[in-house]
Amino acid sequence: MEKFNFEIVAKSQGSKARAGILHTPHGDIKTPAFIPVGTKATVKALTPEEVKDTGAQAVLANTYHLYLQPGNEIIKKAGGLHNFMNWHGPVVTDSGGFQVFSLGVALGKGLSKVTKKNEEMMLSHEVDEDLETLKAKIDNSGVMFRSHIDGSAHYFTPEKSMEIQHDLGADIIFAFDECTSPLESKHYQIESLHRTHKWAEDSLKHHVEKGKYKIQALYGIVQGGRFEDLRKESAEAIKKIEVDGIGFAGFGIGGSFAKEDMSDAVRWVTDILPEEKPRHLLGIGEPDDMRKAIMEGIDTFDCVAPTRMARNGTLYGKDGERMNMLNAKYKDDFSLIDDSCECYTCKSYSKAYLSHLFRADEMLAGTLASIHNVNYLVKLVDDIREEIIRSR
């Protein structure tokens, strides 16, 4: 991998935090960094220029969604995701594993009810035990699931996930993994973990065979639920995997974390993972969570929260408090969202205007709110980077 390189520029004294630069074929990412999610090849409600103006350095798109719509062949024909979506900075794609288990549904089960329930579960970060019997159908080779769009049946394997991600052409891609529920038994977690390790190796093998490691950095994913021994075993296993002398270019830490377990899970594995390689914490974007994870040595984050919250009318205030613009008190509040914020929204629009746009169900509401929330999280992580550099 010549074009991909991770450089650590500063290490914190009192923690495992580090500041670095991820060099990718489409530009650098200064780390730690928050990466907004553009699920279907668009960060919802924002143009690429608006995304860039928030300070975001990269976007993460979802393999599962793009495989189903418009299909990876279309994006390949367009010359890859960068060209297709007109984002010429670094792009990340996930493996599709998480969505296959959380959005896709098992064969022969009612679709709309299940996906609705799954979505609520994802949003609440809770797990509905009734759903345990409705999981996608897993065997050691891959996962059979149904599309959340039209119910059609699909089969993902590590090779399939790699093929799709090669077509999408992101700078950073992920090995196919099984993302278990934290409520699973230890017995099942062990079985699943060994499958995830085998799939990691299969993913890397396919990636190396196709020669794509020269232009796309493949990250292995550490799983293991809430069990310290499994998390450590997973980190050891994933870091050792090599094909033709080539290992993973970086590491993802996956899992549906209970909020209180996140720091532990990260600490256990960053003690083991090689220091010189980048680490991405999948699906985490809460300010406090990111701060803690950075102290434990995480370099990059992605999360739909800031844009989803934004579309629902909730914006981050100056001190991280959440303000819902549908609250009656904002109707005639002509102050800015955050007068110290330098984002486009905070330079020109009052809470009263945002309140009006949300009440009137205007599309500009989601745009202005997303700009602010993404800017808020990007800036928060950038500020932590500056602290690390100052404190080295």
> Considering 94, 171, 289, 299, which one is annotated as catalytic?
94
107 binds a copy of itself (CB under 8 A): no
Of the ranges 37-45, 164-172, 226-234, 380-388, which one interacts with a copy of itself (CB under 8 A)? Answer: 37-45
271 part of the active site: no
Strands across the sheet containing 172-174: 33-36, 300-303, 279-281, 250-253, 217-222, 172-174, 91-93, 59-61
> b/e for 168-206, b at 16 or more Cβ within 10 A?
bbbbbbbbbbbbbbbebeeeebbbbbebbbebbbbbbbb
- How many of the other CB atoms lie within 10 Å of CB of 350? 15
Which residues in 236-295 contact a copy of itself (CB under 8 A)?
A: none
52 binds a copy of itself (CB under 8 A): no
339 part of the active site: no
Closer Cβ to a copy of itself, 129 or 334, answer by number: 334
Residue from 229, 259, 348, 386 touching a copy of itself (CB under 8 A): that is: 348
In the shown chain, the binding pattern of residues 363 to 392 toward a copy of itself, with x for contact by CB under 8 A and - for none, equals: xx-xxx------------------------
Q: In this structure, what token pair is assigned to residue 226?
A: 């809430």
d(CA 121, CA 65): 18
In the shown chain, the binding pattern of residues 313 to 342 toward a copy of itself, with x for contact by CB under 8 A and - for none, equals: ------------------xx-x--------
41 binds a copy of itself (CB under 8 A): yes
Residue from 74, 107, 123, 153 touching a copy of itself (CB under 8 A): that is: 74
Q: Minimum Å distance from CB 212 to a copy of itself?
A: 23
106 binds a copy of itself (CB under 8 A): no
Kindly list the distances between the CA atom of residue 376 and the CA atoms of 325, 369, 372, 381, 390, in Å, as whole numbers in the listed order. 17, 11, 6, 9, 21
Q: In this structure, what token pair is assigned to residue 372?
A: 């602010």
Of the ranges 78-86, 190-198, 298-306, 313-321, which one interacts with a copy of itself (CB under 8 A)? Answer: 78-86
Residue from 11, 23, 30, 44 touching a copy of itself (CB under 8 A): that is: 44
Tell me what percent of the chain is helix, strand and coil, each rounded to the nearest 5. 45, 20, 35
Q: Minimum Å distance from CB 32 to a copy of itself?
A: 28
Q: In this structure, what token pair is assigned to residue 118?
A: 């799954």
- DSSP labels for 78-101? TTSHHHHHT--S-EEE--SHHHHH
Angle at 206 between CA 201 and CA 208, to 5 degrees: 95
- Catalytic residue numbers? 94, 302
Which residues in this chain contact a copy of itself in the complex, by CB under 8 A? 40-42, 44-47, 69-70, 74, 77-78, 84-86, 331-332, 334, 344, 348-350, 352-353, 355-357, 359-360, 362-364, 366-368
